Amino acid sequence: MGIVLGPNRYGKAEVRLVRVVRDDATHHRLADLTVSIALSGDLAATHLAGDNAHVLPTDSMRALVFAFAREQPGEEPEEFALRLARHLTTAYEPVHTAQVRIHAHPWERIAAAEGPHPHAWTRAAGSRYAGAVRNADGAEQVVSGLDDVTVLKSTGSEFHGFLTDRYTTLEPTDDRVLATSVSARWRHAARPEESDLGADWTGSYAAARATLLRTFADTRSLSLQQTLYAMGKAVLDEQPRLAEVRLELPNKHHFLVDLAPYGHDNPGEVYYAADRPYGLIEGAVLRDDAIPAMPELPW
Ligand SMILES: O=c1[nH]c(=O)c2[nH]c(=O)[nH]c2[nH]1
């Protein structure tokens, strides 16, 4: 019986990087990224004895992110994550696994008199996600996604037939407001022969985002759980190279306010938008013949 070191990893979290791609003196493009790196490997000595010979300083990882950003302007976040992960697992012998997470924050061009402004921006809601893992044997996987895309349907949602007990006061409804803030992840390369991760990342991202939103809108919802499955399945139906979709859907409750004490009816017009608590519906939808996800894949 004794005490041993368990699983561990370390890295630089949330490197904030803004890249201005200058098409010419006035027409620019922006990439605003938050990049996180986590390494695992032969790190017992630093934990057990403070021997740092195998420890690449997290400060060097920060520098690496900025230096790599200079090399490939306009690069997609998935490519950037893969390039960092490949470098980290080939250049430093003690590193066995590298995980890279990137959140890309959208900026939209301000509407100017002559059209979209060439170099003035407003920060938009939601963010795009890209994550990559690579190990020293060369195995690698990529996950893409989006966060905090808030959607609402003002009809087309029901919730009834649920389990009841003596604590149940929720009224069944056949017409409610359904709102959620979508966080989604999709894993690339469903089969081993598709492991050439040279995809059209941005095309796949735009298609998945559109499919998720369209399915939310078009599905007559009997529960947010049913909507979750429909959203994930629609993305997999449209993109055969994706293996799995994971969704997190907080139920942003809208409660009809009882206006009777004030002498008013309320035919589905005035709602209280509750902040918390909220229902949290989470689930994965996957192909039954997909290769498994690497355990270290940064979802
Ligand atoms: O779509 C829903 N799923 C639930 O599990 C649930 N629970 C609840 O109170 N409201 C809802 N709505």
Separation of CA 233 and ligand 1 centre (Å): 20
Burial of 9 (C-beta count, 10 Å sphere; 0-12/13-18/19+): middle
- Which residue minimizes the CA distance to atom 8 of ligand 1? 279
Give the Cα-Cα-Cα angle 80, 82, 87 (nearest 5 degrees): 100
Q: How far away, in angstroms, is 224 Cα from ligand 1 center?
A: 7
ipTM: 0.99
* Residue 72 pLDDT: 86
Atom of ligand 1 nearest to the CA of 226: 1
- For residue 198, the model assigns a pLDDT of 61
pLDDT class of 74 with cuts at 50, 70, 90: confident
What span, in angstroms and rounded, lies between the C-alpha atoms of 244 and 289?
A: 11
Per DSSP bridges, beta strands 127-135 and 95-105 are antiparallel
Report whether residue 280 contacts ligand 1, using a CB cutoff of 6 Å. Answer: no
- The pLDDT score that the predictor gives to residue 196 is 53
Whole-model pTM: value is: 0.95
> Residue range 79-84: average pLDDT?
96
For ligand 1, mutation pick of 231, 251, 282 (most atoms within 8 Å of CB): 251
- pLDDT at residue 195 tops 60: no
What is the C-alpha end-to-end distance of the chain, expressed in Å?
Answer: 35
- CA–CA gap between residue 88 and residue 65 (Å, rounded): 11
Q: What is the band of 1 on the pLDDT scale with cuts at 50, 70, 90?
A: confident
Question: What is the average pLDDT value for the chain, to the nearest integer?
Answer: 96
Q: Are 124 and 108 in contact (CB under 8 A)?
A: yes
Only one residue has tokens 């992110």, namely 65
Query: Which of 223, 229, 282 to mutate to test ligand 1, by most ligand atoms within 8 A of the CB atom?
Result: 223
Tell whether the model's pLDDT for residue 205 goes beyond 60: yes
pLDDT in tens, 219-237: 999 999 999 999 999 999 9
For the Cβ of 279 lying below 6 angstroms from any atom of ligand 1, the answer is yes
Q: Among 66, 144, 140, 69, which residue's Cα sits nearest to residue 102?
A: 144
The CA–CA distances, whole Å, from 223 to 116, 175, 218 equal 40, 11, 14
Kindly state if the Cβ of 170 falls inside 6 Å of ligand 1: yes
Domains of the chain, each with CATH number or no CATH: 1-138 (3.10.270.10), 148-299 (3.10.270.10)
Look up residue 241 and give its two tokens: 């190279």
CA of 256 to the centre of ligand 1 (A): 15
CB burial of residue 77 (10 Å; 0-12, 13-18, 19+): buried
User: Catalytic residue numbers?
Assistant: 12, 58, 253
Q: Are 40 and 5 in contact (CB under 8 A)?
A: no
pLDDT of residue 138: 94
205 CA distance to ligand 1 centroid (A)?
29
The answer to whether residue 81 scores a pLDDT higher than 90 is yes
